[in-house]
Amino acid sequence: MHMHKVESRRDLDQFIRFPYHFYRDDPNWIAPLRSEQWAQFKPQLNPMLNHCETQLFLLKAGRKVLGRCSAFIDRLAVAHWGEPIGLFGSFECIEDQSGAHLLLGAARSWLAERGMRAMRGPWSFASQEWGLEIEGGHQPPVILAPHNPPYYADLFGSFGLEKAMDLLVYQADMDAGYQFPERFQKLTERIQARFGVTVRPVDLDRLEDEVMTIVDISNRSLTDNWGYYPVTKTEAQAMARDLKPIIDPQAVLIAEDANGQPVGFGISLPDVNVLLRRMHGRLFPFGWVKMISGIKRIRQYRMWALGVVPEYQGKAIDSLLYKATYDALKDKCVRIEINYVLEDNYRMINALIKMGVTQIRRYRVYEMTID
């Protein structure tokens, strides 16, 4: 086995194609659209790359690809965190410790050469797609969530990577009888009466402006959350462009105070992975028909993000957004996953437990110092 830097379009093609071969017998892997995978590595389509320095690696035996990994430095993240932390991701590898160590070692060396003092991951080039799935891998992942073989955790541990943060996932299955607790309904009524806060769906005709509002709230409310760093205007515009075809506007909500000023948001997305399972990563020749005709029939969602500005934190505005999301989706009898709850976000976890939702998955982000 040997390492090979990705330096040509042919190399990048092998890098992108590898997971489709690697996971071909895994019934729980969802093949992403190949066009979207290519777009991740084009700065004009993925503005995150404009503030990243990257290097991709392939693990090979002769001409055969056995694994892949990325290493990158996000300058905005380093500046916001105030620490020289480099990132690794796109990790896929056969069950071979020496091969995995070659990949991770290449990423570590590349980061060390550029002054990084720690390596954190898995971390992708897609927004907030972090972590290794260590619990819940017996079922397919939802939109913008990873999936991996269980042995990856052992490969990471043997290399010296250690847990940095766990990300928890909860489920509310309305089709199985879940109902928003009555005491929380009364709580939300008191919140609205006391603070005059109301919740409305986004306006698709003004989606780019609405996304900028959400990004502003996000950058104000989540700035101290572990792993978070500000989203740029260009990234927000790209997000609006990419999400518009699949958005259910009734499930993307903005909370406003009595003066009409935005104070919080909640984003729940239809889980298009339900449709992608049948498309095998290809939008053409007929995949686009399945996508367009199937989105409105999706009965599975992911609560992707939620934020409340600092002035209104601790005033149960999050509960108001949860209730509004429930009201928007209850008639569809959906199953919704509430994803990426930081394990140290005790206030949010406590609220979710009181709402009667069930923890079903766990993702883990790893880190190690670089000597």
Can you give the pLDDT at residue 290? 55
Can you give the pLDDT at residue 244? 80
- Residue 136 CA to residue 332 CA, distance in Å, equals 24
Residues of the chain scoring pLDDT < 70? 126-128, 278-294
- Region of 187 (left: φ > 0; alpha: ψ -120 to 50; beta: rest) is alpha
**Domain ranges (residues) in the chain:** 2-167, 172-362
Can you give the pLDDT at residue 285? 47
Whether the CB-CB separation of 58 and 15 falls below 8 Å is answered with yes
> Cα 291–293–294 angle (5° rounding)?
65
Per residue in 137-176, pLDDT (tens digit) is 889 999 889 999 999 999 999 999 999 999 999 999 999 9
Q: What is the CATH number of domain 2-167?
A: 3.40.630.30
Can you give the pLDDT at residue 128? 64
- Residue 268 CA to residue 302 CA, distance in Å, equals 5
Burial (0-12, 13-18, 19+ Cβ within 10 Å), 59:
buried
Give pairs for 128-133: CB < 8 Å, separation 24+.
128/304, 128/305, 128/340, 130/167, 130/227, 130/340, 130/363, 130/365, 131/167, 131/363, 131/364, 131/365, 132/156, 132/363, 132/364, 132/365, 132/366, 133/361, 133/362, 133/363
Average pLDDT, the chain: 90
Q: Give every CB contact of residue 187 below 8 A, 6+ residues apart in sequence.
A: 316, 319
Can you give the pLDDT at residue 282? 58
Nearest to 238 by CA among 143, 144, 127: 127
The DSSP annotation for 32-84 comes to PPHHHHHHTT-TTT-GGGGGEEEEEEEEEETTEEEEEEEEEEEHHHHHHHTS-
CA-to-CA separations, 272 to 38, 263, 301, in angstroms, rounded: 19, 29, 8
Whether 172-362 and 2-167 are alike in CATH topology: the answer is yes
Alpha helices by DSSP H, listed for 125-280, are: 152-159, 182-195, 207-221, 233-243, 273-276
Three-class DSSP category at 246? coil
Nearest to 362 by CA among 354, 349, 104, 83: 349
- Residue 228 CA to residue 344 CA, distance in Å, equals 14
Supply 292's token pair. 């367009």
CATH class of 172-362: alpha beta
Say if strands 132-135 and 358-369 run parallel, antiparallel, or are unpaired.
antiparallel
Supply 348's token pair. 């949010």
Q: Crossing angle of helices 233-243/207-221, nearest 10°?
A: 130
Whether the CB-CB separation of 51 and 76 falls below 8 Å is answered with yes
